[in-house]
A and B are shown apart, each in its own frame.
Chain A
């Protein structure tokens, strides 16, 4: 990870030329301790997230993708400080929030909100919709012009629910409607950053499209910045401006949407893309699928050096001994691989790439 901060710095300076960074994450780590025995001594750690560096520009959508267990949700929860990072720094609008206390974090909660994956688990069944969506106003002591009730009803309308739903309970709604309630709650205090953890994966296809469109409209209207966490690559392509691919707690590739989907460089990204089932019967025979063998290794004992080498078809000796740095192989396209794919037009001799 030695060259990562410098890489991050160069790409940040380049990015700040066109847009400001809302969030800058450097070498973020989360290790969950494993304790055993009478004295609860720490015998190991689940290295859920191990050295993530990226920045989020104002008004963009950055997506984190990867298989389950790759640490994308853990990363999202650290960004909203629902989890305490083990190492690294998180700068939100230039302010270090990595280890800020819960009390000091509270005013910042206005600006950083989260949409949760499960619309059934994330709403208190004993509270009415009005109480749920109005909670942020009470907790933050925000006075609204025409009272909280009026504002909540406006929010419900904004997300496509009707103001009469104010006094209903979550169980009276369908999954898509519940997800809208969660979105209304996240929007209540007009946050700057929304971390959306699998916002549509629990929904049916037709409803999923409604919620995706809603999120995009709200972004245009309110100038929101999203960090979305998702595993559905077609949804990610539709929603994101930039995409970061994670594998076993590390970022393996980050790029703008179009280059990433058209010319993925990391073998893992290539494999992920080829595994997506395409709804077209004519392509059944023509498609070359890269079949990854086995499962994701355990993050307790991750493979040495490049963590993907145990499943990678291009792996050679160097992959298990030297960790590939996350190097910028094309403008704005950073990849951590010794043998990247799709290297057509090599720009100037690349930084940190072994010859």
Chain B
């Protein structure tokens, strides 16, 4: 996070044993009566310690399913998971539930979107933090309680000594989200997954929470995956961005590249459909036509082609052939059939002037 001006993180020196978290060709399919829902269909990415990956996409693009499968939180028997999730050299796909349970909290932790339903209403906030801490650390209740108070203080909850005995419903929305962050960080996890951590919050509180995640990451040097639909949020936090569409990755590059030189028409569409405070107000927004596809009947070829303005430039390839995610320039991957000159021309003439 220290490389703000040139956000491309130095990747020349990866740890010898490979990246800290590596996801390879992850597929999560849910068999239903109507057909197989291919929520995630061949997703690959990696995150280093101290680095932040942003995953963006519309609802139903498979963002949350990805995070739940990394954490091993799909109930057994509901999902067919294949591929590899390698955390610190340890493949989690197919590992026993007991093994993953031991990793949860200590090695990886998650912040959920809705803190009211993610916290147990029957137990005090302190009780829930202490419970997690004592599972991974052999300490007395008093020590764990002191740790819980420390954590609540760290995330900025006023009077943590008395608030530790409060129930979740006695906290406001922003404080609940802080308490959940305290819970997630109580065992210094090396991987933190934040699934829409600020979507339910007001902008002022959102700014506080984003600052908090950033500060804590610097302190603990953990790897962070932030999942959101808000491009503003990832621009604040992420080093790398993965754009998902219909369970697949369509573009994967550094945050700086995604915002200054995006290559995929879907990314162009996302950037164009947002009203922006930092630009002159335009008379009309440019929405992406149509609606996201059903994950049971994913369109053939490129799943984005029915909504893509530039599909006809590919001479039919986008309707029949699924584009692979290829590295077009160093560390910039894109899954699109557009030829390089076409892409360059469209970007220069149509997209860049209007963004």
Contacts and interface: CB of A to CB of B under 8 A. Distances in A.
Interface of A: 67-68, 174-177, 204-210, 212-213, 216, 231, 233-235, 237-238, 257, 261, 271-285, 289, 291-292, 294-295
Interface string B217-261: 000000000000111111110000000000000000001100110
Interface of B: 4-5, 7, 58-59, 158, 172-175, 202-208, 210-211, 229-236, 255-256, 259-260, 269-278, 281-282, 284-289, 291-292
Given A68-B173, A204-B292, A277 B236 contact: yes
A284 B232 contact: no
- What does DSSP make chain A's interface, helix, strand, loop or mixed? helix
B173 A234 contact: no
Contacts of A68: 173, 202
Given A205-B229, A208-B273, A281 B285 contact: no
A207 B287 contact: yes
A204 B58 contact: yes
* 3 cross-chain pairs, A with B, having the tightest CB-CB distances, nearest first: A277-B232, A209-B287, A209-B273
B235 A238 contact: no
A257 B208 CA distance: 26
Contacts of A208: 273, 287
Contacts of B203: 67, 231, 233, 272, 275-277
Contacts of A274: 207
Contacts of B273: 205-206, 208-209
Nearest to B233: A277
25 contacts: A67-B204, A67-B205, A204-B58, A204-B59, A204-B292, A205-B58, A206-B269, A206-B273, A209-B286, A233-B203, A234-B276, A234-B277, A238-B275, A238-B285, A275-B203, A278-B276, A279-B231, A279-B276, A281-B7, A281-B260, A284-B236, A285-B5, A292-B204, A292-B208, A295-B174
Nearest to A271: B204
Contacts of B206: 275, 277
Given A206-B292, A295-B174, 14 more contacts: A174-B291, A174-B292, A205-B58, A206-B273, A209-B275, A213-B285, A233-B277, A238-B285, A277-B203, A277-B207, A279-B234, A282-B256, A283-B235, A291-B207
Contact of B202 (A67, A237, A257): A67
Contacts of B289: 210
A216 B178 CA distance: 38
Contacts of A210: 287, 289
Contact of B277 (A278, A289, A292): A278
A277 B235 contact: yes
Contact of B229 (A204, A278, A283): A204
Given A275-B203, A295-B205, A281 B259 contact: yes
Q: Which among B173, B206, B287 has the highest number of chain A CB atoms within 10 Å? A: B287
A205 B230 CA distance: 8
Contacts of B204: 67, 271-272, 275, 292
Given A238-B275, A278-B235, A279-B274, A289 B207 contact: yes
Give the most central of B230, B235, B284, B285: most A CB within 10 Å: B285
A277 B230 CA distance: 9
A205 B274 contact: yes
